[in-house]
Amino acid sequence: MLHIKCPHCGLRSQNEFSYGGDATVKRPELGKEISDKDWDNFVYNRKSLRGKHWELWQHLSGCRQWIKVQRDTATHEIFKTLKANEEIS
């Protein structure tokens, strides 16, 4: 069982959360010319790192906020959590 520290609610069990994927993927800017390659990278291509991985989770059965979580994909250890609008340092 993962225990995720929601920045709004505190430590909660994994059951309350749903997963949203890689948090470092940025949507190409609106209104700008986008190359096919950039669009591919945004929609399909993922690094899927082994080790520390920043990812989005939603506290679905709690405050319903999206949050950022830094988790090790090999050990499942969670290092840090951030609010959705906080930048990954």
Where do contacts with other proteins occur on this chain (CB under 8 A)?
Answer: 1-2, 13-15, 18-19, 21-22, 36, 40-41, 43-50, 53, 55, 71, 73-76
Give min distance, CB of 85 to other proteins, in A: 22
Taking the least distance from each CB to other proteins, the nearer of 8 and 73 is 73
Distance CA 85, CA 68 (A): 9
Taking the least distance from each CB to other proteins, the nearer of 61 and 83 is 61
Cβ-count burial 4-34 (b if 16+ within 10 Å, e if not): bebbeeeebeeebbeeeeebeeeeeeeeeee
Q: Which DSSP category does 38 fall into?
A: H
Taking the least distance from each CB to other proteins, the nearer of 41 and 65 is 41
